[in-house]
Structure 1
Amino acid sequence: MSAFTTVISAQPVVLPAPNRGEDLQVHVSAPATGSDLPVIVFSHGFGWSMNGYAPLADHWAAQGFVVVRPTHLDSRTLAIPHEDPRTPRIWRTRIEDLTRVLDGLDVLEAAVPGLGGRVGRGRIAVAGHSWGAQTASALLGARVLGPDGAPGEDMSDPRVGAGVLLALAGLGDDLTPFAVENLPFLRPSFDTMTAPALIVAGDHDQSHLSTRGPDWFTDPYTHSPGNKSLLTLFGAEHSLGGVPGYEVAETTDESPARVALIQQLSTTFLRRALLGEDSGWKTAVTALEADANPLGKLESK
């Protein structure tokens, strides 16, 4: 599909969410034409909202995907104080938000003018950045280890066929004291993350949550079953060149070229995983391998 496809969008679309304290607000973007459109449900990083990550959402929508971005409870737009009783459970509420979106696709489809009858229910992916990547990974089969080291609840969703996980935290063996004390959910197990996924890591992404180096962010690839690809971006920090948005405070490594590579590879990866289209992925992989000054390296298993 052409990069110049007209995109329609609606926000906020509201999904009722009893017991959440706030109804779930989402932003829906979709191409103006086409049918049986594949879906990407995107989970934002800490503090962001349904209006962030336009460099990815706008691109995906222009390339033929329905992109749904919910606003999680940690969003700065909701201003929920840290002492709020929901805070310790927000990591789970985030996962439930994505499931709620999948349950509410009929409502979302009806809320966007011209989208009715055009959403493909059998072609669904999840994606996310940072904390949002951990949120999305749960629907792909990742689990959180309990205090006894046993895997917690399985929150995977059989409706989800693939994922794109950007700057996803690694194993919980080498956390900083702050992370150990405040983020008990940061103990993932990727042993059961079986769904196909593209994992993107920056080789200059030094997290304040881990005592390890940037290779921490490659754990989700190393420790998950096959049918995964890992894109390691050279020189990239946590924003991976600016996926949350251009010219924002969190983007310390602004690089439109890096973002463009993520746009291209994520789109072709999802087209292959959801639609069975191999050619675009193979072309992109070959181009990266042939580049004399590549922006990163790609490996698959």
Structure 2
Amino acid sequence: MTTYRTTGLTGPTPTPTVSIKPLVLSAPQRGEDLHVRVTAPITGAGLPVVLFAHGFGSNLDGYAPLVDHWASGGFVVVQATHLDSKRLNIAAGDPRRTQMWRHRVQDMQRILDELATLEAAVPGLAGRVDHRRVVAVGHSFGGQTAGILVGLRVRDPQSGIAEDLSDSRVMASIQLATAGKGGDELTPFAHENLPWLRDQDFSHIAAPGLVVAGDKDDLPLSTRGPAWTTDPYTLSRGNKSLLSVHGAEHFLGGISGYQAAETTDEDPDRVALVQQVTLAYLRHVTGIDHSDWNNAQMVLTDGHPLGHLESK
């Protein structure tokens, strides 16, 4: 067990990891094969899975500070490059653009369908993965993806129907700096360019979840300011927790990559806080160990300089 001085939190001793990419899954209806990266500890058995969805424009190489930390803490982390990635450069008039949100969910479900294939493709991993313990995690646009897998309803901008696209194979979620409800709170820019945010219903999310929000995350998508990103916590059912990161903007101190150019609030201590709390939650919700999560709930009370943790 390790104690982190900057946060006062505890965590497991990290283990070495291996990362394999790209693993390619055929997806003819998608228009592009699905490229996947798998990162896993080199030891251990019965390893739970983190199904990670990147933010708009990113790819399977992003979010190394989180991915590396989770894998070294005993999780198999699976990442995909979604259709909105800048690497794919989908044309503005492509009919898939208004359905990007749906394609993301389908990407995740395809990964779950092919999890055994991905496991077998990583040297030394076969037989060490627990397919029954899967947690969906995502940042920004990816947070919506993770939310949909556990019950978030999004009204399709084309059909006008809010379908239940949840997947029973996903037991819990972590949503990082994720959009809140739509309606009149959306800015004209968001309403026009991100139609999948116009109507989100969090009330059907019954699975356990952790929401991480920066209290300086003032996105140009909502008129409500940073509080907008706490909606996945406040508007969903119980058995949820909220980590508010003090002073954090949309990238929460730099979770999208080591020395990532898009990070405007670079702060290693904030990143460490998000790393440690999310890993503690992952270990808690999958039943590995509850002590780190219990410690985080005691430490991150009012007055902690980095953040505040609450639950309902």
- The question of a shared fold, defined as TM-score above 0.5 by the shorter chain, is answered with yes
Whichever residue aligns with residue 295 of structure 1, its letter is L
Contact 2:297 2:310 in 1 (8 A): no
Q: In the aligned structure 2, how far is the partner of 1:256 from the partner of 1:69? A: 23
Deviation of 1:64 (Å): 0.3
Whichever residue aligns with residue 269 of structure 1, its letter is Y
- For residue 289 of structure 1, give the secondary structure of its aligned residue in structure 2: coil
Contact 1:143 1:151 in 2 (8 A): no
Identity %: 56
Report whether the alignment pairs 1:131 with 2:103.
Answer: no
- For residue 160 of structure 1, give the secondary structure of its aligned residue in structure 2: coil
- For residue 163 of structure 1, give the secondary structure of its aligned residue in structure 2: strand
Q: Which runs of 5+ in 2 are unaligned?
A: 2-11
CA RMSD of aligned residues (A): 1.7
Match in the other structure for 2:272? 260
When residues 202 and 184 of structure 1 are mapped into structure 2, their CA distance, relative to the original with a 3 A threshold, is same
Deviation of 1:288 (Å): 2.2
Q: Which runs of 5+ in 1 are unaligned?
A: none
- For residue 219 of structure 1, give the secondary structure of its aligned residue in structure 2: helix
Q: In the aligned structure 2, how far is the partner of 1:265 from the partner of 1:163? A: 14
Q: In the aligned structure 2, how far is the partner of 1:144 from the partner of 1:296? A: 30
When residues 289 and 149 of structure 1 are mapped into structure 2, their CA distance, relative to the original with a 3 A threshold, is farther
Q: In the aligned structure 2, how far is the partner of 1:247 from the partner of 1:24? A: 27
Report whether the alignment pairs 1:205 with 2:249.
Answer: no
Give me the TM-score of the superposition, normalised by structure 2. 0.92
The structure 2 residue matched to 1:196, chosen from 199, 203, 208, is 208
Cα deviation digits, residues 120-144 of structure 1 (max 9, x gap): 0111101000001011110011011
- For residue 246 of structure 1, give the secondary structure of its aligned residue in structure 2: coil
Q: In the aligned structure 2, how far is the partner of 1:296 from the partner of 1:68? A: 28
Deviation of 1:145 (Å): 3.0
Contact 2:157 2:196 in 1 (8 A): no
Deviation of 1:279 (Å): 1.2
Q: How does 1:1-301 map to 2 (within 5 A)?
A: 2-145=12-155, 152-173=162-183, 174-186=185-197, 187-275=199-287, 277-289=289-301, 293-301=304-312
- For residue 299 of structure 1, give the secondary structure of its aligned residue in structure 2: strand
Contact 1:202 1:214 in 2 (8 A): yes
Poorly superposed stretches of 4+, deviation over 4 Å: 146-151
Deviation of 1:236 (Å): 0.5
Q: In the aligned structure 2, how far is the partner of 1:151 from the partner of 1:276? A: 38
Give me the TM-score of the superposition, normalised by structure 1. 0.96
